[in-house]
Structure 1
Amino acid sequence: MIVGYARVSTEDQTNAAQIDQLTAAGCERIFEEKISGAKRQRPRLDRMLAGLSTGDLVIVSKFDRLARSLIDLLNIVDTIREAGADFRSLAEEINTATPSGRLQFHVFGALAEFERERISERTKEGIAAAKRRGRLPGNPALRARDPVAIAELQTRRAEAYFDAINASAHLWLPIVKSCRPTENDKLAALPLQRPTLPWSQVLPRINSAFAGQVPPLPRWTERRLLRAVHRFVEDGLLHADTLASAPARPASGLVRTVAAMKRSNPRMRLCDIANELEALGIATPRGHSKWSTGSVGNLVRRAKREGLLKG
């Protein structure tokens, strides 16, 4: 799909000229945004990036409609390329689907890296000079616990967090959508109705996708996954039903067996149940013949959650 992105600042009246250019370039869908380019939180841009797939092409009328700086542009284009899509700017006549376009972006990347190093050097020099004058580095307003400065810091941290999870959204977001279908998905009369999986089963699939990346991405925890999903739901990039509770799994034969033993003799200890299971030749969930009290305890707790035993 050919996707267009148009942005005007709050002072501008219309983005009609951009829309005309994008339509003439063959855009099948156009995301329009009316917000300052200095703000990283651009909901329509984030929605567009999250929905990209392999073979898509993102078109803008010119660079400054998409990014606030060269570094920001490179980060956004990296996100587009990671999703398997390409980028084209009409005014600058750059298309990453072509060898010359990719070469130009490599040059841009080298310039941005040079600028980052210069900023780092100037920052270190400034801190050293401040220390020589007896001044403390950092933000004086933060040290004074100024509420405005604290709020600005929290906003920047929230934006940095979104950038971090959005950079890998092309890996984890499709898995979440597949494993956690919403009510809209279920009403769409899909040929195969997908069950809603618990997060404990979604997580290994995501970590498996991350493991194949070069360089490798850090493994996620269930807590980190839920935090990312909550953030995408808040920004309107995922349906709220994604967070709905998964249906309870039916009781397994092991759970029913342990529950029956406990009901027949409430005084049975976990070690007694373990011995009984071994005597009956019943294997553990992992296929072992030796039962631990921890494994039995897990089955007892599950039996209580599923109403097979009284709490």
Structure 2
Amino acid sequence: MSHGKPPRPIGYARVSTEEQSTRRQVDELRAAGVAELVEERASGADRSRPVLARLLRALGPGDTLVVTKLDRLARSLEHLLEVVRGLEARGAFLRVLGDPIDTATPQGRFMLQMLGAVAEFERALIRDRVRSGLARAAREGRRGGHPGLRARDPEAVARLRQARDARHRARLLDGAEAWLPLLVRLRAEGCGWEEAAAGVNRHLSGQGSWSPERLRRAARSLARAGLAPAALLEPRPAPRPPAPPDPDEAVRAVAALLGQTPGMTLRALGAALERLRLRPRRGGAGWAPSSVARLVARARAAGLA
């Protein structure tokens, strides 16, 4: 989906299981004039839906995401509003065929504002209920929270950590196809984490903000779960030290040059050595005639010229 195309409606159809069919939703979307659509089989409660995530990233200014009902897109008001904010940031719109919601119209935007107000009211009620419950528990001498975590039970702590790690990996995998193959190649070529992060961010064209440390942690999490090659975490091989210069290389080169052109002057020999990228042992920009003369003398003493 290219943002260079004219604005267009794009449909999203979702069912929860492989046994269910999206045909009814597809037919309704087609009847509403939606020619381009994607389908997904995933639970509505799962926010890390890869097809929906890719679609939301691909929408551009003027595009409209079309669904048959709100519950096909989100199962909570909070998630719905999060999706709408993401669409607004991209200049895109949301249209729901079964509800009076079309954010391209004033009426549809007003409906979403009303939903946002309801969501905030619900959050306020929940906060009040939580505070009231904690206060009542404190008066009765009870403590809130998970008993196992309060007691630092190792199994409870491990389960909590595993659940947190699983959520983190799910977020990483959402969109990993855009950066993980490149990271694998850069690391195989010997790039460090700083260079790899810069390469990944360039590849994502401003849509990525990976720091070297965050990228390393992400690679470690995926590799430990077997979702990325373990070689990602291998340290770069230390660079080999440059080979020491061969002191006789210039002597052999002078002998070869004199063998081809016996009458070469010292200045011509020096210029030829520079073209061969041979430098004087003591450094310097070029060969002095006296240094070339010493090479000639050594070549003749060795019987090379």
| Alpha-carbon shift at residue 12 of structure 1 (Å) | 6.4
Given the alignment, which residue of 224, 237, 253 partners 2:214? 224
Q: How does the TM-score come out when normalised to structure 1? A: 0.54
Alignment coverage as a number of residue pairs: 227
2:81 matches 1:69: no
Q: Is the 8 A contact 1:203 1:225 kept in 2?
A: no
Match in the other structure for 1:93: 100
Match in the other structure for 2:281: none
Q: Alpha carbons of 1:100 and 1:153: their partners in 2 closer, same or farther (altered >3 Å)?
A: farther
Q: Is the 8 A contact 1:142 1:150 kept in 2?
A: no
Match in the other structure for 1:39: 46
Render the CA deviation track for 1:250-290: whole Å, top value 9, x for unaligned.
Answer: xxxxxxxx979x979xxxxxxxxxxxxxxx9xxxxxxxxxx
Q: How does the TM-score come out when normalised to structure 2? A: 0.55
Render the CA deviation track for 1:104-161: whole Å, top value 9, x for unaligned.
Answer: 2122112212211221221122122222222222122444648578546743675478
2:142 matches 1:135: yes
What is the alpha-carbon distance in structure 1 between the residues aligned to residue 46 and residue 160 of structure 2? 12
Match in the other structure for 1:17: 24
Matched residue type, 1:73: L
What is the alpha-carbon distance in structure 2 between the residues aligned to residue 69 and residue 38 of structure 1? 8
Given the alignment, which residue of 106, 114, 122 partners 1:115? 122
Q: Is the 8 A contact 2:13 2:37 kept in 1?
A: yes
2:207 matches 1:199: no
What residue ranges of structure 2 are gaps of 5+ in the alignment?
1-7, 186-193, 247-283, 285-305
Match in the other structure for 2:66: 59
* TM-align CA RMSD: 4.9
Q: Alpha carbons of 1:21 and 1:222: their partners in 2 closer, same or farther (altered >3 Å)?
A: same
Matched residue type, 2:10: V
2:163 matches 1:155: yes
What is the alpha-carbon distance in structure 1 between the residues aligned to residue 57 and residue 87 of structure 2? 9
| Alpha-carbon shift at residue 102 of structure 1 (Å) | 1.6
Match in the other structure for 1:105: 112
**Aligned partner of residue 198 in structure 1, secondary structure:** helix
What residue ranges of structure 1 are gaps of 5+ in the alignment?
184-196, 211-218, 235-239, 249-257, 265-279, 281-311
What is the alpha-carbon distance in structure 2 between the residues aligned to residue 47 and residue 203 of structure 1? 18
Identity among equivalent pairs (%):
39
Q: Alpha carbons of 1:228 and 1:182: their partners in 2 closer, same or farther (altered >3 Å)?
A: closer
Matched residue type, 1:74: L
| Alpha-carbon shift at residue 76 of structure 1 (Å) | 1.7
Q: Is the 8 A contact 2:100 2:111 kept in 1?
A: no
Q: Alpha carbons of 1:200 and 1:156: their partners in 2 closer, same or farther (altered >3 Å)?
A: closer
Q: Is the 8 A contact 2:183 2:196 kept in 1?
A: no
Matched residue type, 2:100: E
| Alpha-carbon shift at residue 18 of structure 1 (Å) | 0.5
Q: Alpha carbons of 1:4 and 1:146: their partners in 2 closer, same or farther (altered >3 Å)?
A: farther
